[in-house]
Amino acid sequence: MYEELLNKQVVDLKPSGIRKFFDLANTKKGVISLGVGEPDFATPWNICEAAIYSIKSKKTHYTANKGLPELRKEVSLYLKKQYDLDYSAEKNMIITVGGSEAIDLSLRAVLEKGDEVILLQPCYVAYEPAVLLAGGIPKFIELKSENEFKLTKEQLQAAITDKTKAIVLNFPSNPTGGVMTHEDYEPLIPIIKDHNLIVISDEIYAELCYDGKHCSPANFDEIKDLVILISGFSKAFAMTGWRLGYLCANETFIAHINKIHQYVIMSAPTAAQYGAIEGLRNGQKYVDEMVEQYKLRRNYIVSGFNRIGLKTHMPNGAFYIFPDIRKTGLTSVEFCERLLEEQNVACVPGSAFGNAGEGFIRVSYAYSIEEIKIAIEKIALFMEQFK
Ligand code: PMP
């Protein structure tokens, strides 16, 4: 009865497939989880201290809507230094409550009711609901494991209609770990430009690129002003709980997007912003150390999974592998449910990330090598029955 009082779009939203699965995993004892999408490292202590000091110094009020000028300046310098991107601290940037707010802001600012948005499946679970809530219609491109989950120009061309307004990209990708290089992007650029397609580029895993440097669609001058770049501190700086991200775009986009941010959020958490300034000024060595660890774990887990008969390509980014489970004859939900039941190991069914994820599971390696080792031994026992 109370449901009838609510917005139908909200009532019809499906709960996240990840959450549903973890509620199940949490009710069991002694479960080894390779499921969670967040760093196992603690936030570097210099960041914590800077935030604590800001509170001690009574910096506990709102900041400027777009975020502290010093933080925007540091983000601007960082993007230039790391990725050769030019975004001005004054005109091209908003500090947000995580990448999550930035995703929501961009879709709401861009979409009219009935506009189509291209999503690349398997994809991060928040994109489809965010498009729907903004009145848009999600249109899916299925990325293929044989293409290392990259987007091709044929796929993009075929998905564009006269209603297409935007495309959401996420490289390095959650859940596949796939990346797009400069060469991979090149053939897409004329298509994006010809159709004036807005590119919402979620680059939250940019720092976690293991072989070669991250490339952003905003690195292409021809389309830079069509790109809304989203990133943040959650993954690279191990700051998921601080809720801090940023959104960069052309001056006009920022002026309008900032109105939504102003009215809905006011400003991102102040202590977190002071912590992030310290992270950008003096935290690179900690980021580099964490990335080095992720790379070691990636190499270890990929070879482990292939050894026990679960075909896994070597992903170049993020902290996920996306093994192919089709040889077991199980659906990804059946595989994960039985693995949990029989061996107490939790992974996420690929279908949680859209139909294109069926036949795969998402395994996070944001865990210690010791935990990964035990999990692989248990999965090997589970796989015995499928020989
Ligand atoms: N984008 C992707 C692809 C993610 O995986 C996540 C977090 N799991 C987010 C955005 C949200 O990150 P934040 O903590 O910055 O809101």
CATH number at residue 348: 3.90.1150.10
- Ligand 1 atom nearest the C-alpha of 124 is 3
Residues 139, 255, single domain; the answer is yes
- The pTM of the full predicted model, rounded to 2 decimals, is 0.96
Atom 5, ligand 1: which residue's CA is nearest?
174
Residues 236, 119, single domain; the answer is yes
CA-closest candidate to residue 370, choices 305, 286, 300: 300
Count of domains in the chain? 2
Asked if residue 156 lies in contact with residue 164, where contact means CB atoms within 8 angstroms, the answer is no
Residues 26, 98, single domain; the answer is no
Q: How many residues does the chain have?
A: 387
Query: What pLDDT was estimated at residue 20?
Result: 65
* Ligand 1 site, residue 16, Cβ cutoff 6 A: no
* Ligand 1 site, residue 100, Cβ cutoff 6 A: yes
CA 173 / ligand 1 centre spacing (Å): 10
* Ligand 1 site, residue 232, Cβ cutoff 6 A: yes
Positions of the chain with pLDDT under 70: 20
CA-closest candidate to residue 313, choices 192, 123, 147: 147
Condensed to tens digits (0 to 9), the pLDDT of residues 127-147 reads 999 999 999 999 999 999 999
Q: Which residues contact 185 (CB under 8 A, 6 or more apart)?
A: 215, 217, 219, 220
Residues 87, 163, single domain; the answer is yes
Residues 19, 50, single domain; the answer is no
Residues 370, 303, single domain; the answer is yes
Query: What pLDDT was estimated at residue 28?
Result: 80
* Ligand 1 site, residue 174, Cβ cutoff 6 A: yes
Tokens of residue 257, six digits: 């997007």
Q: How far apart are CA 75 and CA 269, in angstroms?
A: 16
- Containing domain of residue 256, as a range? 45-282
Residues 253, 311, single domain; the answer is no
Q: Which of 282, 302, 334 is the last residue of a domain?
A: 282
CA 336 / ligand 1 centre spacing (Å): 23
Atom 7, ligand 1: which residue's CA is nearest?
37
Tokens of residue 261, six digits: 């941010």
Residues 337, 238, single domain; the answer is no
Beta bridge partners of 119: 140, 168
Residues 249, 105, single domain; the answer is yes
CATH number of the domain at 55, please. Answer: 3.40.640.10
Residue 59 amino acid letter: K
Query: What pLDDT was estimated at residue 25?
Result: 73
- Ligand 1 atom nearest the C-alpha of 244 is 15
CA 100 / ligand 1 centre spacing (Å): 6
Residues 183, 128, single domain; the answer is yes
Residues 247, 302, single domain; the answer is no
Condensed to tens digits (0 to 9), the pLDDT of residues 308-352 reads 999 999 999 999 999 999 999 999 999 999 999 999 999 999 999
* Ligand 1 site, residue 204, Cβ cutoff 6 A: yes
CA-closest candidate to residue 198, choices 313, 107, 268, 131: 107
Query: What pLDDT was estimated at residue 30?
Result: 86
Q: What is the DSSP string of 139-199?
A: EEEE--GGGTTPPPHHHHHHH--TTEEEEEE-SS-TTT-----HHHHGGGHHHHHHTT-EE
Q: Which of 282, 310, 325 is the last residue of a domain?
A: 282
Residues 251, 290, single domain; the answer is no
Q: How far apart are CA 105 and CA 242, in angstroms?
A: 19
* Ligand 1 site, residue 171, Cβ cutoff 6 A: no
Q: Which of 265, 282, 299 is the last residue of a domain?
A: 282
